[in-house]
């Protein structure tokens, strides 16, 4: 064990942040090395004259930054340079875990794959799909994308649609086509977790922008004034938005909110990338940004949440100016999305399986949300019967990372707010809870009861983020 005592006498702001900052600095300077065991939390609290809760929170912040790793019964160690696999990535055998973390949206209700493959095998000329096709995809498959985009409030032009390997691939190639390495892009303060590493990997700088606060205390759309300020201060070139069922806050923008953001985009010549994987679950079709500002908007659609994540098929619709660039970026990254799985999806869309599956999932989700709201009351759960996840507000002094870790030891997975924001922000008091990844209704409800009990227990503790005295 390393008798490490950080220098925090002159620190400003929360003590737990100062401890985490000192730990990060000492690792960079070589004072602490990979595998070094840190002092037990109680002992370090005594040495620093702070509460145990302050050190617990500091170690949690250090783990959030991937500086350390904790092992039950053994202590906390400086993490190796390689990082553990993200909890968002599934493992092959996880039957014992009740999953409220990953948003798989009722995969047990997806269409029957065997029937889909049998139908494909009987399709005339199916062998043509066993070869190379244009990088943007076959015309018939792009026309399937047009049908999908109609559910998104966009009358898409098939000549401007391209088939991608799912929405995440669509986001990456779209941003490569629209922006240059070094460009700054605005994102919501809380947003889709994979957007941070994905866009950083292609050289884009992300600028978090706060949201408006609704009358019920929940999060609204991105603040248009803050977006304009980001354009002036940071010189952003574009903005990434999720107008329907924003991940993780669940907010669906009103038409007015969309129009206000379009106005800012036009005033500052910003390109818009809209990603809408959950739109088909919503009962009302609102105009897409691609319809409100077609000259500057690239739209991304996917059926992964609706019926087939295993197919890895998504669609992008871009302004005509960027059509060739999209084709090139798809070709450079993977040559083409699989025409075989694109045909599987096209058949399901043509035969109405998409609608049937949505009907089943919407019905199941109504029940799940109502149960979640009942069990988690009186805590505020932003969402609705048509939202496949919820954004749970915790008491201000309750650490979401502590909630996640505590539940993890009980084989229940949830996601702290830290996964949805940039690493230089401390965790905010929120959890995202998904409703459809767990097939068993009984296990789902029991897991929510454990979430509620854990929050109740930690909420009774005093705020331990300040030094004693």
Average pLDDT score over residue span 308-329: 93
Average pLDDT score over residue span 189-210: 92
The reply to whether 254 and 176 lie within a common domain is: yes
Indicate whether 95 pLDDT > 90.
no
The reply to whether 197 and 174 lie within a common domain is: yes
What is the reported pLDDT for 465?
Answer: 42
What is the reported pLDDT for 468?
Answer: 36
Q: Give me the phi and psi of 89, to 5 degrees please.
A: -90, 125
Report the alpha-carbon distance of residue 205 to residue 171 in Å, rounded.
15
The reply to whether 184 and 326 lie within a common domain is: yes
Residue 376 sits in a domain whose CATH number is 3.90.1150.10
Which of 258, 352, 301, 344 has its CA nearest to residue 150?
Answer: 301
Task: Find the helix or strand (DSSP H, E) in which 430 lies.
Answer: strand 430-434
Residue 91 — very low, low, confident or very high, per pLDDT cuts 50/70/90?
A: low
Domain that holds residue 395: 98-103+354-459
Average pLDDT score over residue span 31-50: 86
**Alpha carbon distance, N-terminus to C-terminus of the chain:** 29
Handedness of CA 314, 317, 318, 320 (dihedral sign): positive
CB 231 within 8 A of CB 209: no
Indicate whether 170 pLDDT > 90.
yes
Last residue of a domain, one of 326, 351, 376: 351
Quick: pLDDT tens for 201-230. Answer: 889 999 999 999 999 999 999 999 999 999
What is the reported pLDDT for 123?
Answer: 86
SS3 299: strand
The reply to whether 325 and 381 lie within a common domain is: no
Alpha-carbon dihedral 166, 422, 465, 398, rounded to 10 degrees: -20
Report the alpha-carbon distance of residue 36 to residue 22 in Å, rounded.
15
Average pLDDT score over residue span 277-302: 94
Each as own residue / partner, the long-range contacts of residues 213-217 (CB below 8 Å, 24 or more positions apart, any chain) are 214/251, 216/380, 217/380, 217/393
Q: Is residue 433 part of a domain?
A: yes
Q: Is residue 51 part of a domain?
A: yes
CB 455 within 8 A of CB 467: no
Span of 78-92, 187-201, 332-346, 376-390 with lowest mean pLDDT? 78-92
The reply to whether 157 and 255 lie within a common domain is: yes
Quick: pLDDT tens for 97-106. Answer: 899 999 999 9
Residue 338 sits in a domain whose CATH number is 3.40.640.10
Report the alpha-carbon distance of residue 40 to residue 293 in Å, rounded.
56
What is the reported pLDDT for 433?
Answer: 98
The reply to whether 305 and 277 lie within a common domain is: yes
Report the alpha-carbon distance of residue 457 to residue 430 in Å, rounded.
16
Counting residues of the chain whose pLDDT is more than 70, the rounded percentage is 93
Quick: pLDDT tens for 368-420. Answer: 999 999 999 999 999 999 999 999 999 988 889 889 888 988 889 999 998 99
Residue 464 — very low, low, confident or very high, per pLDDT cuts 50/70/90?
A: very low
Segment of 62-66, 127-131, 444-448, 459-463 carrying the highest mean pLDDT: 444-448
Q: Is residue 275 part of a domain?
A: yes
Q: Is residue 118 part of a domain?
A: no
What is the reported pLDDT for 96?
Answer: 73
Pick the residue with more confidence: 38 or 221? 221
Average pLDDT score over residue span 101-116: 92
CA distances for 117 relative to 31, 78, 121, 352, 368, angstroms: 58, 49, 6, 16, 31
Report the alpha-carbon distance of residue 179 to residue 203 in Å, rounded.
10
Span of 23-27, 82-86, 230-234, 256-260 with lowest mean pLDDT? 82-86
Average pLDDT score over residue span 174-201: 93
The reply to whether 365 and 338 lie within a common domain is: no
**For residue 298, is it left (φ>0), alpha (ψ between -120 and 50) or beta?**
beta
The reply to whether 280 and 424 lie within a common domain is: no
The reply to whether 344 and 377 lie within a common domain is: no
Pick the residue with more confidence: 355 or 262? 262
Q: Is residue 66 part of a domain?
A: yes
Residue 65 sits in a domain whose CATH number is 1.10.10.10
Q: Is residue 318 part of a domain?
A: yes
Report the alpha-carbon distance of residue 38 to residue 8 in Å, rounded.
16
Q: Is residue 86 part of a domain?
A: no
Report the alpha-carbon distance of residue 247 to residue 249 in Å, rounded.
5
The reply to whether 316 and 331 lie within a common domain is: yes
What is the reported pLDDT for 71?
Answer: 67
What is the reported pLDDT for 60?
Answer: 84
Handedness of CA 341, 342, 345, 347 (dihedral sign): negative
Task: Find the helix or strand (DSSP H, E) in which 300 lies.
Answer: strand 297-302
The reply to whether 334 and 386 lie within a common domain is: no
The reply to whether 447 and 376 lie within a common domain is: yes
Report the alpha-carbon distance of residue 390 to residue 407 in Å, rounded.
17
Last residue of a domain, one of 297, 328, 351: 351
Number of domains in the chain: 3
Average pLDDT score over residue span 12-21: 86
Q: Quick one: 297 exposed, middle or buried, by C-beta within 10 A (0-12, 13-18, 19+)?
A: buried
Indicate whether 466 pLDDT > 50.
no
Q: Is residue 113 part of a domain?
A: no
CB 170 within 8 A of CB 302: yes
CB 58 within 8 A of CB 96: no
Q: What is the DSSP string of 17-57?
A: HHHHHHHHHHHHTTSS-TTPBPPPHHHHHHHHT--HHHHHH
CB 206 within 8 A of CB 200: yes
CA distances for 420 relative to 111, 220, 381, 395, 396, angstroms: 30, 16, 17, 19, 18
Span of 70-79, 183-192, 407-416 with lowest mean pLDDT? 70-79
Q: What is the DSSP string of 372-398?
A: HHHHHTTS-EE--TT-SEEEEEPPTTS
Quick: pLDDT tens for 226-253. Answer: 999 999 999 999 999 999 999 999 999 9
């Amino acid at each position: 064990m390393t008798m490490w005592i950080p220098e925090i006498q002159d620190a400003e702001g929360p003590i737990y942040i100062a401890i985490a900052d000192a730990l990060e600095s000492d690792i960079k300077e070589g004072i602490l090395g990979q595998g070094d065991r840190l002092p037990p939390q109680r002992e370090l609290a005594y040495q620093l004259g702070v509460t145990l809760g302050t050190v617990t929170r500091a170690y949690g912040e250090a783990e959030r930054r991937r500086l350390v790793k904790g092992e039950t019964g053994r202590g906390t160690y400086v993490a190796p340079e390689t990082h553990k696999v993200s909890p968002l990535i599934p493992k092959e055998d996880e039957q014992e875990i009740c999953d409220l973390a990953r948003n798989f949206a009722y995969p047990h209700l997806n269409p029957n794959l065997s029937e889909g493959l049998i139908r494909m095998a009987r399709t005339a000329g199916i062998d043509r799909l066993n070869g190379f096709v244009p990088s943007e995809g076959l015309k018939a498959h792009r026309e399937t994308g047009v049908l999908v985009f109609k559910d998104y409030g966009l009358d898409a032009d098939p000549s401007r649609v391209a088939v991608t390997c799912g929405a995440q691939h669509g986001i990456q190639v779209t941003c490569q086509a629209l922006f240059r390495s070094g460009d700054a892009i605005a994102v919501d303060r809380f947003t889709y977790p994979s957007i941070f590493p994905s866009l950083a990997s292609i050289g884009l700088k992300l600028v978090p922008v706060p949201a408006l606060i609704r009358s019920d205390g929940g999060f609204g759309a991105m603040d248009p004034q803050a977006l304009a300020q980001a354009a002036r201060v940071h010189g952003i070139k574009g903005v990434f938005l999720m107008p329907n069922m924003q991940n993780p806050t669940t907010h669906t923008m009103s038409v007015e909110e969309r129009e206000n953001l379009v106005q800012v985009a036009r005033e500052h010549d910003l390109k818009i990338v809209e990603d809408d994987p959950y739109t088909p679950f919503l009962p009302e079709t609102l105009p897409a940004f691609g319809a409100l500002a077609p000259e500057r908007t690239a739209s991304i659609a996917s059926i992964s949440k609706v019926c087939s994540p295993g197919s890895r098929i998504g669609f992008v619709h871009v302004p005509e100016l960027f059509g060739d660039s999209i084709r090139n970026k798809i070709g450079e990254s993977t040559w083409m999305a699989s025409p075989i799985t694109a045909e599987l999806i096209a058949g399901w869309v043509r035969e109405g399986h998409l609608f049937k599956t949505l009907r089943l999932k919407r019905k199941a989700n109504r029940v799940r949300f109502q149960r979640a709201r009942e069990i988690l009351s009186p805590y505020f759960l932003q969402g609705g019967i048509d939202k496949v996840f919820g954004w749970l507000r915790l008491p201000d002094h309750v650490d979401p990372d502590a909630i996640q870790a505590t539940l993890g030891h009980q084989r229940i997975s949830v996601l702290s707010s830290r996964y949805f924001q940039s690493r230089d922000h401390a965790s905010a008091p929120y959890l995202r809870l998904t409703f459809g990844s767990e097939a068993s209704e009984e296990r789902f409800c029991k897991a929510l009861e454990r979430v509620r009990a854990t929050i109740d227990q930690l909420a009774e503790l005093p705020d331990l983020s300040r030094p004693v005295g």
